Amino acid sequence: MPLPDRGAATILVVEDEPTVCELAAEALLDEGYRVLTAADAWEAEAILARESVDLLFTDIDLARNTDGLSLARCARRLSPDLPVVYTSGGRGSLTACEAVPGSVFVPKPYRPSQLVALTQDVLRTAPLHTL
């Protein structure tokens, strides 16, 4: 059953591989989410400074020597309760000291349906920030 407020949720997808970014964004768009994309942490930080985002989905190793771990810490300074989902093809998990509290990790490769289900679960337990 779809979430009634799902269409209002804005997801920031941060991924430096264009094909992977497009697949993730399309899966979320198809479910009615508003999707913003960035290829690196600098671009994502600029988006976070001007947009209200309900969930950050970020790769860990990003372009221009930026990383999703630092990005998530920056995002949490702007919005302390922002849900964060990390992904990576280079590691199978994150330690608690690396990740922001309450975040989720999904290893690559993931199926678009996995991303959609995870997004629904995370947003179901977190309040929307677009008040």
What does the pLDDT look like over 19-43, one tens digit per residue? 999 999 999 999 999 999 999 999 9
Q: Is the pLDDT of residue 121 over 60?
A: yes
The pLDDT value given to residue 45: 97
Q: What is the pTM of this model?
A: 0.90
Average pLDDT, the chain: 90
Burial class (CB in 10 A: 0-12, 13-18, 19+), 2: exposed
Tokens representing residue 124 in the block: 């179901």
